[in-house]
Amino acid sequence: MATSRRVRRTLVAFGVAALLTAGCTLPAFAPRTEVEGAAAPTGSAPTWRPCPEVPDELVGRSAPNMRYECTRIAVPRDWGTGGGASTGPGAGETFEIALLRARSTKQRDRVGSLVVNPGGPGGSGVDTAVYLSFGPQFGGLPTSITERFDIVGFDPRGVSRSSPVKCISDADLDASFGYDPDPASQAAFDGFVGLSQRIGRGCGDRYGDQLPLYGTEQAARDMDAVRAAVGDDKLTYLGYSYGTLLGATYAQLYPQRVRALVLDGAVDPQQRLVEGSESQARGFERAFTNFTTWCAANAGRCPIAPDARAAVTSAIDKAKVSPVRGADGREATAGWVFYAVISSLYTESGWQELAQAIDKLAEGDPKDVFRLADAYAGREDDGHYSNLFDANLAINCADETEKPSRQQIRQLQSEWRGKYPLFGPALAVGMLSCVEWPGGRDPYPTGKANGAPPIVVVGTTGDPATPYEQTPRLASMLGVGRVLTWEGEGHTAYPQTSCITDAVDAYLLDLTVPREGLRCPPR
């Protein structure tokens, strides 16, 4: 059933990972459906309306026994000190935040609302709430959760339906994704500098001094308005990937308003741009090595065995000089092949797809390479992109204070090529996007959540995008974090196995904190 396959593929892609030119992101279907209606004024109770058209657009139908309602709330563009700045960029103006609530018709003993965010930054929480509502047969939430909680998704400021940032042309996004991931010559490196500058100028010209208002701390303050809008005294939250940073920031700002937070695919808030980029290079390299080991041991399922690393490296090298042209004339350049690799590493189920795509590319067929890469990029068949990457840049760059020089980046490109040969150069060069980004910065806090209850921080040992080492660091920074480990592959863990699911469900439902040091096996 085509609808089922689409739901499943989307669900396993939630917290997906690193937009290597700007930080973390996730593959997502670009939504066209709007959450209609006027936004409720700041602090007032919103009016919810039925919105079955949203799941219809995303999936083709509503989930069984689920009702969907939508609303919008208005939040200050600049919360400033005390809940609304009176001077400076955005003073007195508002953003509209779109919300969707999925409620089971079998709901019983309601606990409250479970607010969800899929990460990115740039991923749609509205979409995520829909996908999660489809239940465990499609990789969604267990019925034990959906029958006790409303599942509430919101699009953060600047994302999708919430006053979206849109300032990068489809042509520039095509150029960015298709660019050589390791521009070795100075001319090729300078070309990527120029592309980053052009993108930055376009966004600066459009949004000017309001660009810092898209940062994480402002969005975390919006989350408290979401909490109030759903009528909960305290927040229950499930955040994936970048969503863990949003949740951690909320816990620092509003520790007394936390009921339960699950932070899955942890981001270490204390690492800066260079450290974070190297961490991801290391994580992707490790995940790719795990893929090649699997490939060698499963030659019947891996047509590029026994040496998958050589096959992938050769495919990228060949694409630099002679890219395969598809039936529609589109060329599978080195960048597109590289992003097909990136896309496939977020779930173990993607490994076989990658092997088949590389094998078909060698035979002159790039269709599967484009399918994998486009799923990551959010690129539609007609070449149009959602605002996923516009928002990703705006949010990441507003947060980031570190600004290495081009010379430093060029040096790191060379150093990381030796340490992380497939992914290091791209992660180094990708830092140019925020280096060349205009506007001020608005860094988020990085301290303890004093006064908050225990917070569950989930990490996966084979995670490429938010490497496992970041999990204990986030838990330690918060001071109230309890680490839950999945010894599995891919990005994010809940609800992948019964061990992880049982531990998280007990925490969300009954506030039972997983025992110290709990490690869940791969299956």
Catalytic residues: 241, 463, 491
For the chain, the first-to-last Cα distance in angstroms comes to 26
What six digits make up the tokens of 454? 């225990």
Cα distances (Å, whole numbers) of residue 57 to 70, 119, 381: 14, 21, 16
Our CA angle for 461, 368, 19, nearest 5°, is 45
**What are the residues whose beta carbons fall under 8 Å from the beta carbon of 111, sequence distance 6 or more?**
148, 149, 236, 508, 509
Contact 484, 456 (CB under 8 A): yes
- Residue linked to tokens 């506030």: 511
Dist. CA 89–CA 441, nearest whole Å: 13
**Gyration radius of the chain's alpha carbons:** 22
Residue 165, amino acid: V
In the Cβ-directed half-sphere of 415, how many Cα atoms lie within 13 Å?
11
Dist. CA 378–CA 388, nearest whole Å: 7
Alpha helices in 208-329, H assignment, sequence order: 216-229, 242-253, 273-297, 308-321
Cα distances (Å, whole numbers) of residue 202 to 379, 430, 438: 20, 18, 10
Cα distances (Å, whole numbers) of residue 17 to 196, 348, 400: 20, 14, 17
Q: In what order do the strands lie in the sheet with 112-117?
A: 49-50, 66-76, 94-104, 149-154, 112-117, 235-240, 258-264, 455-462, 481-489, 519-520
What DSSP string runs through 137-183? GGT---HHHHTTEEEEEEPPTTSTTSS------HHHHHHHHHS-SS-
Query: How many helices (H) does the chain have, and how many strands (E)?
Result: 19, 14
